[in-house]
Copies of this chain bind each other. A is one copy, B any other.
Amino acid sequence: MDSGTGAGADGPNYVEATQKSLTVLRYLKEHGPATLSEIASGTDSAKSTVYRHLQTLEEAGYLVETDDGYRIGQLYLDYGIEAQRSHPLYEVGKPKVDALAEKVGEKVWLVVEENGYAVYLYLHSGEELYRSFTRVGYRGHLHAFSAGKAILAQMSKSEVNAIIDRRGLPAYTDQTITDPKTLFAELDRIRQQGYALHLNEAVDGGNAIGVPIQHEDGSPAGSICVAGPAHRLNESYLRDELSDLLLGTKNEIELSMRYEA
């Protein structure tokens, strides 16, 4: 799912020992529980080296040793929920997202940009059961989903280019935009109509609509997004009905950001 840069950037401005520890943690997150030997061969490091990293990380709570090897620790959940709750958009956006989800009865997402990725910060499920492949905390490329494109549309061309350089434009499905020129045209369209659509691009065949949330100066704060199965969220329903509701919620959130802070 990642571009596969491996261990991370090097140079004199990075701490390699830390990078090695984080590589171990990422290996465990992606592969599930693993033994010392597995991790050592999976990360191309000496057993003794991995051993010391594991000791350090366990002592700090970042991982746990169980019957079937080492696993990611619930300390991440502690830090993660803290990060979620203390995000500037969360407190302001959550009640509005909840209200919108109750009204439309579909999944509504609150999405922000971080490290060049779209991060799904919060979800209200609404009534309908709809199994999306996304979940809270999910990180994906900005260009591949409506919520991310809504965020990109608020950025300057150079900012978008910086993100393309950093994260690339990988294809999630055969509908994904993988060409910068096409992407910029799409972002123009989004700016004009005020919302981003996502039709059959997702791996699960669902549709979605995303609307940007902006700071007072026009810089992107995030986006809200309604997602669901294509048969219920067809294009005309998205364009004619949902877009107005989302734009209303967008305005409410932007007002709250200004006067409740």
Contact = CB atoms under 8 A, between A and B. Distances in A.
Interface in A84-104: 84-87
A152 B35 CA distance: 27
A179 B121 CA distance: 42
A15 B138 contact: no
Given A18-B17, A21-B15, A62-B22, A78 B80 contact: yes
Interface string A112-148: 1011010101000000000000011111000000000
A75 interface: yes
Contacts of A22: 60, 62
18 contacts: A8-B56, A13-B55, A15-B17, A15-B20, A15-B21, A15-B52, A15-B53, A19-B60, A61-B114, A72-B86, A73-B83, A74-B137, A76-B80, A76-B83, A77-B119, A78-B119, A80-B80, A81-B135
A82 interface: yes
B21 A75 contact: no
A257 interface: no
A26 B92 CA distance: 25
Contacts of A137: 74, 77-82
Contact of A72 (B14, B59, B82): B82
